[in-house]
Amino acid sequence: MKRREPFTDSQLLMSIAIGIFVVMYGAAMIFMGGGFLKFQQFFDLLNDNAALIIVSCALSIVMIGGGINISVGGVIGLTVMSCALYLNGTGIESAFGSTAMALLLSLGIGLAFGVGQGFLISYLDIQPFIVTLAGMFLSRGLTTMLSINPVKVTHAAFLDVAKTKLQIPFLGYTAQNGNLIPAKLETGAIIALCVVILSALMLKYTRLGRHTYALGGNQQSSLMLGINVRRTRFLTYVISGLLSGLAGFAFLMHKPAGNSSVAARMEMDAIAASIIGGTLLTGGVGNVIGTFFGALILATIQKIIGLSPLNESWWQEMASGAMLALFILLQSVVLSNRGKKAENAGKMKLKKE
C-alpha cells in the first residue's frame, strides 16, 4: 500500500483557509438566511470582487518568490481611467473591436509597469518596496493627470458587452411571481476564475513555478541549484503587472467608470487576501487557490457586516483586520508546530541509527 504523503505547508494553510470560508459562509446561511441561501449571493461575491481576486493572485505569485508589489492598486486605477477615456474617444463602433482594444490597452499598461519595476528590482537590486511604492505614486499621479473628474464610459457597444452575463438556470431560484430567475456570472468573474486556475497550474507544473517557490524559500540555495534568480524574479513582476492590468479591465467591465480613487487600498486588500489564503510574506509558501478563498473570506465579512445592524465601514475594516491578525497567528502556530515535529522526528531517527 502506497504511503500517503503529508500536506505541504502551502497545502495545509490553504486547507485552513478553505475550511474557515466554508464554516463562515455556512454560518451566514444558517443564521442570516435570505440571500445567502441562493447561489446568486455566492456568484455576487465573485462578480463584485473579480478585480480583487485577480490582483490577489498577482500578489501571491510575487510574495511566493519573496517579493512584494504595492503598486497594483494604482495600476488598476490608471488602467480603468485610461480605458474609459479611450472608449469615449475612440471611433471603433464594433463591440468586439472596442473591447479588444480596451483589453490590449489594459495589458499594455500592466506590462509596462511589470517590466519597468521588474528590471529595477531584479537587475539593479533595488528594494521591491521602494520600487513599487514609487510605482504606486506614479500610477496614481498619472491617473489624476488624465482627469481630475470622474469619467463614465459612454461607448454603447462596450457597455452592451459589459452587461453580458453567463446565465445558469439550474442554479437560479423561483421568484414570488413564479418566474425562474437564473443565476448570473459576469465576464469579469469568469476571467478571475480562469486566472486562478491558470496561475495554480503555472505554479505547480511549470519550471517557472518551481523556481519561484525555490527563490522564495532560499535565494542562496536557488543559486547553487543553477536557477536564474534574476530572470525568475523579473518574470514574477512581469506576470504581476499583466494581471494588474487585467484586473483593471475586469473592474471596468463591472463598473464602467474611472476616477482618481478607483481601487484605492486594493493593494492592501490583495496582500491581506494572500496572507489569509496561506501565502507567507517571507516567501516560499503559498497557493493561489488559498488566495482565492482568502479574497472570498474578506468579501464574505464585508457582506455579512453590510447586512447586519453594524453596517458602518469601520466595522468592516476592524473585522478584516482581526481576521488577518488571526490568520497570521494561526500560520505562526501551525508552522512552528510542524517545525518542532520535523525536528523531533530527525532526532529520533539519529538515535535509532
Full pLDDT tens readout for the chain, 353 residues: 445 556 777 888 888 889 989 999 999 888 887 778 888 889 999 999 999 999 999 999 999 999 999 999 999 999 999 999 999 988 788 888 999 999 999 999 999 999 999 999 999 999 999 999 999 999 999 999 999 999 999 999 999 999 999 988 888 877 777 778 888 999 999 999 999 999 999 999 999 999 999 999 888 889 988 999 999 999 999 999 999 999 999 999 999 999 988 888 899 999 999 999 989 888 888 899 999 999 999 999 888 887 777 667 777 788 878 878 887 887 777 667 656 655 555 555 555 55
User: Per the structure block, which three cell numbers stand in for 151?
Assistant: 469619467
Alpha-carbon gap, residue 192 to 196, rounded angstroms: 6
User: Per the structure block, which three cell numbers stand in for 222?
Assistant: 536557488
**pTM of the predicted structure, to 2 decimals:** 0.92
Dihedral angle at the C-alpha atoms of 229, 234, 235, 240, nearest 10 degrees? 130
The domain 42-227+242-338 is placed in CATH, from the list 1.10.287, 3.40.50, 1.10.3470, 1.10.10, at: 1.10.3470
What pLDDT score does 102 carry?
A: 95
Surface-to-core class of residue 349, CB atoms within 10 Å of its CB (0-12 exposed, 13-18 middle, 19+ buried):
exposed
> Of 119, 140, 136, 137, which Cα lies nearest the Cα of 71?
136
What pLDDT score does 1 carry?
A: 45
What pLDDT score does 235 carry?
A: 97
What pLDDT score does 93 carry?
A: 84
Q: Provide the residue type at 122 as one letter.
A: S
What pLDDT score does 67 carry?
A: 95
